[in-house]
Amino acid sequence: MPPTRGARLPGAVWSALVRFAEAVGSRGSREEVLQAGLRELLAAWKGTGATVYRFEEPRDRLAVLATVGSVPGAEDGFLGADAKRDEIRAAQTGGTIVAQGAQPGASVPLLSGGRVVGVLWMGRRPAAAPFAAGELQALGLIGAQLGMLLETWRLEDENRGQGEQLLALRRLGRQMTSTLDIARLLRMVVEEARQLTAADGALLYLLDARAERLALEAWAGEAPPPDRAVVALGYGIPGWVASQGKALRVADRGSGLQGAGLETRRSHLAVPLLSEGRVVGVLTVSGAREEAFDPSHEELLGIFAAQAAKAIEAARFFERVRRERDLRDRILGGTPNAVVALDAERRVVWRNQAAAKLLVLGDEALGDPIERYLSAPMFLEALRRVLSEQSSLESLEVSLGAGALARQLLVNVFPLPADEERGATLILQDLTERRRLDEKVNRMARLASIGQLAAGIAHEIRNPLTGVGISLDVLREGEHLSDDGLSLLDDIGREIDRLEALIRGLLDFARPQPAQKRPMRVAKALEWHRTFAEQCGKKDVSFQLDLRENPKIEGDPEKLKQLFLNLALNALEATGGGGRVRIAAELVHTEFGWCARVTVEDTGRGMDAETAAQAFNPFFTTKSDGTGLGLAIAHSIAEQHGGRIDVESAPGVGTRFLVDLPSLERGEE
C-alpha cells in the first residue's frame, strides 16, 4: 500500500519525525545514531522492534546495521536473497511492504537517488491497528532520510578507504624498498596484496631466467596445492598474464576446476610484475566471492605490483651482488697467494687472509697507504706506472724484512677494472720457501756432479801418489843422502800423507762407504761431547748440550758422529771467546714425518747469503787451512740416512745448522 501523497500528517507523527531527525543527527557511532533513531520510531508507533539493513553488493543480501527491540530472523547479521522475507522483497522491488496477521510490521526500502541502499523494518504488536496512510507516508520520508544517511556513510567510507589505500601504498613502497632479504620481501608483498584487495589469498610467481616458466615463490592465505608450484608460460591465469604482460580479472571460474584447489575461489585478479617493461613475475589474488574484485582493485593492485616489482628487482640485484661477493671472498680467501686491492691513492681497500698474514695487514690497516707495509722503491715505482695507466701489468721480485726473517716476494701489480676510479690489485707470492727448496735441490745436483768429478780425480791422483810414496821409500833407503836431503824427503812424505788424507776425505764424500744402519739413540752420535767441551773451554766458548729429548733413529753411529763433529768443529772455529755453541736434540714433526732434529748453533761470525749458498760445496772454504770438505761430507752422510741439513745464518749474529733424520718414534700430534 503506497503512502498517499498530500495526506495530512497527524501531529504525533510529525513530532516523531522531528525527534527521529534529531536523533540521527546526534553524535555517536553509526550504530548508536541508528539505534537512537529507531528508539524514537518505536516510541511513536508503539512498535515491538526495528532494524536497519544495508543492501549489500552484489545486491543479494541485507546486512544488519542496527537493531532495537525484538526482531525475528537475521540473528547472524544477514538476510540472504533466498530468505522468503518481506525485507528482501522490499529491497528488490523498491516498494514498502506492510504485513498483517501474526507478525505485523512494515518493510520500508531506503532510497538514495532512486536506488535501494537498504531496508527499514519495523514490527508492531499483533493487536495493533493497521498503519494509517499518513503513517506510511512518514515511514517513506524516514526511508529517504535513512537512505541518504547510508549513502553519505558509503561515500565517506569510500573516500577514507581510498585515502587509506594510498597511504598503505606509500608505506608499503618504503618498507619494500628497504627490505633486501628477498624471501621476506616476497612474503610481505603477498600479504599486503591480499589485505589491499581484501582477498582471501594471494600468490606470487617469478619468471625463471629463460623466461619459460613461472615458479611460485610466496603465498598468503591458504597454501596452494603443490601442482601449482610451477606454471608454464601461457598456461593458466598467471601464465596468461606473464605472456601477455597484462592484468586479468576472472569472475567465477565455475565448477569445471574441481580438484584444482580452485573450487572455493570464485574470483581471481592477476597483474604482471613489470620491471622496465619486462615481465619478471605475476601477482595474483583470489576471493571466495563471485565478484570479489572490480576495476578499482585492478588499478590498485597494478600500482602496488609496480612498486613490488621494483623492490623485488632491487633485492634480487642485491642478492646477486652478495653472492658474487661471497664467491669472490671464497676464491680469493682460499688462495695461498696474498691479494690486496688498492684505490687510486694507493690505500688498502681489501685484502685476503694470506695478505693479512704476509704483510701484517690487520683490519686497522684498511685505508692505510700500502707503502707502510711494502716500501721497496722498485715496487712503488711499478705501482705508480700501473695507476697512471702507463702500464697494465708489472711483475717484480721484492724482498721484505731482513735477516733470518727475510722473505722473497714475487709481486704482480694489475690495474683494477673500475668504472670511475682506477685502482690496483696486488697478487703476492711468497718465494722464500720455494727458493730454499730450489737451493736444496740445486745443491744436491751440484754436489752429485762435483762428487763424480772429485772421485775420478781422487783415483787419478791416488795412483801416482802411491808411486811417489814408494819411490820416496826407495830413495830413503839409499846411502848417498845428506841429512838435509833426508829432511827434505821427510817433508815430501808429510805432504804426501796430507794429500792422501785429503783424497780419503774426498772419496768419503764422493763415494761414501755404505752406511751400517741400526736402531740407535741420537746421543750415541754425540759421544765425543766431553772432549769437545774441553776444547771449547780452552777458547773461552761456553758449550751447552741439550739431550732432554733423545729420539731413536736408524743410523750408522760412526758416520753420524762424523757428521755432527764436522758441524760442531765449524761452530767452534767460527766463534770467538765469550761466545756460545749449543747442540740440542728433539723429536719434531716435519712435512716428511717424525724426525730427530739435531741443532748445532753458535754465536759466531755467521755467513752472508752468498757464503751460506756455497758452504756445502766441496773445497769451498774461507779458512787458510781449511779443506772445504766438512760440510760436503756432512751433507752426504745426512743424505745416506734419508735426512736433510738446513742452515740459517746472519753475519755477526751466528749460525744454526738443523739436521733432520727420520725417527723411529712418533710424538704427540
- Render the burial of 414-445: b for 16+ CB within 10 Å, e for the rest: bbbeeeeebbbbbbbbbbbeeeeeebeeebee
What is the SS3 assignment for 629? coil
535 binds ligand ADP (CB under 6 A): no
Number of residues that bind ligand ADP (CB under 6 A): 23
Contacts of 193 (CB under 8 A, 6+ apart): 199, 202, 204, 220, 283, 285, 301, 304, 305, 308
* C-alpha to C-alpha distances, 553 to 585, 593, 594, nearest whole angstrom: 12, 13, 10
611 binds ligand ADP (CB under 6 A): yes
622 binds ligand ADP (CB under 6 A): yes
630 binds Mg ion (CB under 5 A): yes
Q: What are residue 56's DSSP bridge partners?
A: 61
505 binds ligand ADP (CB under 6 A): no
Smallest gap, in angstroms, from Cβ of residue 513 to ligand ADP? 19
Smallest gap, in angstroms, from Cβ of residue 602 to ligand ADP? 5
Residue (337 or 542) nearer to ligand ADP, CB = 542
237 binds ligand ADP (CB under 6 A): no
651 binds ligand ADP (CB under 6 A): no
112 binds Mg ion (CB under 5 A): no
620 binds ligand ADP (CB under 6 A): yes
Smallest gap, in angstroms, from Cβ of residue 649 to ligand ADP? 7
Whether the CB-CB separation of 36 and 57 falls below 8 Å is answered with: no
621 binds ligand ADP (CB under 6 A): yes
Contacts of 329 (CB under 8 A, 6+ apart): 352
Smallest gap, in angstroms, from Cβ of residue 492 to ligand ADP? 24
279 binds ligand ADP (CB under 6 A): no
Instruction: Tell me how far apart the alpha carbons of residues 421 and 629 are, in angstroms, rounded to a whole number.
Output: 61
Q: Nearest to ligand ADP by Cβ — which residue?
A: 630
Q: Starting from the edge strand earliest in sequence, which strands make up the sheet with 278-287, in order?
A: 230-232, 213-220, 201-207, 278-287, 267-275, 248-251
Out of 435, 530, 623, 666, point to the residue binding ligand ADP (CB under 6 A). Answer: 623
- Which range, of 184-192, 212-220, 328-336, 624-632, touches Mg ion by CB under 5 A? 624-632
Cite the beta strand spans of 354-483 per DSSP E.
394-400, 407-416, 423-430
Angle between the N-to-C axes of helices 529-538 and 557-574, in degrees from 0 to 180, rounded to the nearest 10: 10
Instruction: Tell me how far apart the alpha carbons of residues 409 and 431 are, in angstroms, rounded to a whole number.
Output: 5
Out of 280, 503, 515, 571, point to the residue binding ligand ADP (CB under 6 A). Answer: 571
570 binds Mg ion (CB under 5 A): yes
Smallest gap, in angstroms, from Cβ of residue 572 to Mg ion? 10
Instruction: Tell me how far apart the alpha carbons of residues 15 and 123 are, in angstroms, rounded to a whole number.
Output: 20
Residue (425 or 570) nearer to Mg ion, CB = 570
Instruction: Tell me how far apart the alpha carbons of residues 233 and 36 are, in angstroms, rounded to a whole number.
Output: 59
Residue (239 or 630) nearer to Mg ion, CB = 630
The one-letter code for the residue type at 37 is G
615 binds ligand ADP (CB under 6 A): yes
508 binds ligand ADP (CB under 6 A): no
- Closest to 108 measured CA to CA, from 143, 71, 132: 143
631 binds ligand ADP (CB under 6 A): yes
Out of 628, 639, 664, 665, point to the residue binding ligand ADP (CB under 6 A). Answer: 628
Which positions touch ligand ADP (CB under 6 A)?
A: 566, 570-571, 574, 602, 604-607, 611, 615, 620-623, 626-632, 655
Which positions touch Mg ion (CB under 5 A)?
A: 570, 630
